[in-house]
Amino acid sequence: MAEQFSYDSLFSAASRETPPGSVRHSKYDFAVAYPDPDNLPLDDLIEAVRTGFEREGRDLAYYSSPSGDPELRQLVAEKLQRERNMKVTADDMVLTSGSGEAIGILIQALTDPGDVVLVEEFVYLGTLNQMRRYGADVVGVKCDDDGIIPEDLDKVITEQLGKGKKVKYLYTIPAFQNPLGWTMSLERRKQVLDITGKHGVAVFEDDCYADLRFEGEDVTSFHSLDDTGRVVYCGSFSKIIAPGMRMGYLVAPKPVIARAWSFKSGGAVSQFTALTIAEIMKGNLGQHIEIQNQALQVKRDAMVSALGENFGSNVSWSVPKGGLYIWVKFPEGTDLAAVQEQVFEEGVSYYNGSQFSPTGEGSNYIRLCFGHPSPDTIRKGVAELARILQKIGAFTG
Ligand SMILES: Cc1ncc(COP(=O)(O)O)c(C=O)c1O
């Protein structure tokens, strides 16, 4: 066999060994944030492809607008005006490959190594990883059931400024926070805007779960409460259609988009997907979201009652009014990070709290996602989780 060529001396200084990896599934999968394949709007998608391409299929011969399909941007702008009270037009946004790309390019545009960026004390792992990758000093702010605690936010910013640090922005997931599950109240949003404003700190609102409400009233977006251009915003079709669509968007003042765009590679997003989503938006998207949310509520209820049946009073959990996650607290000292792999091998997967924490604390918490499994699988899986934790002595109740 020919000797294999070695790239070892060719890698750039900035490159890091980060294999794409693969997602492993257990019998009872409460780790990944997938929707339920049974709830995908497959018929609508097939119909959308047909009508969209009968009308505009010939446009695939061209590279689309760099910002992404103008019609889809217009439809998204109208949805944001209607449902999130945002004063935006199609020109205030760019389409991205999922909101993950929006987050990645914005972080690159705003972060120099050593800059302080603020997050909720437990936060979406994907964002945390991107922030770390670009050298941010990620600092968590304490939260309660209403969202970020204003006094702690003020204290953290003041402390960091006192150390001579530059505090660039607060990244927040104010609706059905991942992993904590709460929605930040209007009062808190206003306070957070006041405090960050006082210190000249920008706000990055990740609103990808806003549509997944099955109880209670919507709270208006951060973006709608600011008229100075200080709030940038991203959203996604992953949670309301499917992650496999890979379609998201970034809304920001033009100079910010221009900087973020310099980190976008591969040109505009897929026009094939854009056309399909535009058709769905003109058709049954609202109805689909409603049906999906009803299914999510049944699953949440199944998980909440299964937790009640299988765990005693030493364990507590959130009861979110939407979204995909239940956040479970075990007594201090319980180490659910140490046994995560073993529990996975036994058939149940979760993420433990320390994975969402900038400081790596919180291994007595777990996040359980109720979006993918059926209610029956949820009931069996939670009982199984309790049985395994007992058996391996990780938690005896
Ligand atoms: C808070 C949050 N933001 C962004 C994303 C990224 O989603 P996508 O890139 O599929 O839009 C996720 C995925 O779980 C998430 O939880």
**Nearest atom within ligand 1 for CA of residue 209:** 1
Percent of the chain with pLDDT strictly greater than 70: 100
Q: What is the pLDDT of residues 209-267, one digit of tens each?
A: 999 999 999 999 999 999 999 999 999 999 999 999 999 999 999 999 999 999 998 88
pLDDT band at 187 (very low <50, low <70, confident <90, very high): very high
**Torsion of the alpha carbons at 210, 214, 219 and 221, rounded to the nearest 10:** 10
For residue 101, which atom of ligand 1 is closest to its CA? 9
pLDDT at 22 over 80: no
For 362-378, what is each residue's pLDDT tens digit?
999 999 999 999 999 99
Q: Is 162 exposed, middle or buried (0-12, 13-18, 19+ CB in 10 A)?
A: exposed
pLDDT at 270: 93
pLDDT band at 152 (very low <50, low <70, confident <90, very high): very high
Amino acid at 37: P
Confidence of residue 64 (pLDDT cuts 50, 70, 90): confident
Longest dimension (CA), the chain: 69
The pTM for the full model equals 0.95
Average pLDDT over residues 154-167: 97
Is the pLDDT reported for residue 310 higher than 90?
A: yes
Same fold, 28-40+287-391 and 43-283: no
Average pLDDT over every residue of 25-43: 90
What is residue 186's predicted lDDT score, i.e. its pLDDT?
A: 98
Choose which residue among 236, 277, 325, 327 to substitute to test ligand 1 binding: the one with the highest number of ligand atoms within 8 A of its C-beta.
236
Q: Which residues' Cβ are closer than 6 Å to ligand 1?
A: 33, 98-100, 124, 126, 173, 178, 206, 208, 236, 238, 243, 248
pLDDT recorded at residue 396: 75
- Supply the mean pLDDT for the chain: 95
The pLDDT value given to residue 23: 80
Residue range 4-31: mean pLDDT, rounded? 88
Give the span between the Cα atoms of 283 and 281, in whole angstroms: 5
Residue 154 — pLDDT band, cuts 50, 70, 90?
A: very high
**Nearest alpha carbon to residue 326 among 334, 335, 317:** 317
Least confident of 48-62, 222-236, 309-323, 357-371: 48-62
- The pLDDT tens digits for 251-289 are 999 999 999 999 998 888 999 999 999 999 999 899 999
Regarding the domain delimited by 28-40+287-391, which CATH topology (the fold level of the hierarchy) does it fall under? Aspartate Aminotransferase, domain 1 (3.90.1150)
| pLDDT, mean of residues 318-337 | 96
Q: How far is the CA of 160 from the centre of ligand 1 (A)?
A: 28
Tokens 């609706």 label which residue? 175
pLDDT band at 34 (very low <50, low <70, confident <90, very high): confident
Domain 43-283: which CATH class?
alpha beta
From the CA of 282, how far away is ligand 1's center (Å)? Answer: 24
pLDDT in tens, 78-89: 999 999 999 999
pLDDT of residue 228: 94
* CA of residue 195 to ligand 1 center, whole Å: 26
Distance CA 376, CA 202 (A): 44
pLDDT for 326: 98
Q: How far, in Å, from the CA of 100 to the mean position of ligand 1?
A: 6
**218 Cβ partners below 8 Å, 6+ apart?**
83, 210
Q: What is the pLDDT of residue 226?
A: 96
Which residues, in sequence order, are CB contacts of 115 under 8 Å at separation 6+?
135, 136, 137, 165, 166, 167, 168
How do the domains of the chain map onto residue ranges?
Answer: 28-40+287-391, 43-283
Instruction: Give the CA distances from residue 216 to residues 185, 191, 300, 321, in Å, rounded to whole numbers and listed in that order.
Output: 12, 22, 15, 7
